[in-house]
Amino acid sequence: MTQASGAAPDPSAGEVANQLASVVGRLLRRLRSTSSESLLTPTQRSVLARLDDGGAATTADLARAEFVRPQSMRLTLGSLEAQGLVERAPDPADGRKSVMSITDAGRATLAEVRAAKRNWLAEAVAAELDGHERRTVAEAVALIERLVGS
């Protein structure tokens, strides 16, 4: 594809990748900070989401999925259990183990955290972007979904 005289050259794939990774990282940090009034750490939020999406799991399974040591996951789960956000039950496949599952209170807390993030983002989009810019962002979202295979 040729460039019109005076037009900026197309950015390289590496340049776009660097910029995208940087801005997505900042967006994720900002989204995490919007629910800081919650008593949940990022790991606790992630574990609740994993249990909500994937169902009951053992401590070892959760530790592997979150890339942490089982001892660290036990601490995370202990805190969530003390708050009544998860509950322990015997593993139906192996009675020597236990599985953790999210409680109704855990689902409600997770929904509040997710709503706070969506609300902040919707307010930022409404305040900062005009209609044309919102359409551009919507098109970019579709492209990013294609990149990540969703």
DSSP 94: -
Of the given ranges (11-25, 32-46, 86-100, 111-125), which has the lowest mean pLDDT? 32-46
Residues 70-101 pLDDT 10s: 999 999 999 999 999 999 999 888 888 899 99
**Kind and range of the H or E element at 87?**
strand 86-90
Residue 7 pLDDT more than 90? Answer: no
Tokens of 134: 């919102």
**Integer-rounded Cα radius of gyration of the chain:** 21
Residues 44-77 pLDDT 10s: 999 999 999 999 999 999 999 999 999 999 999 9
pLDDT of residue 34: 80
Strand segments, DSSP code E, in 49-102 are: 86-90, 98-102
Residue 16 pLDDT more than 90? Answer: yes
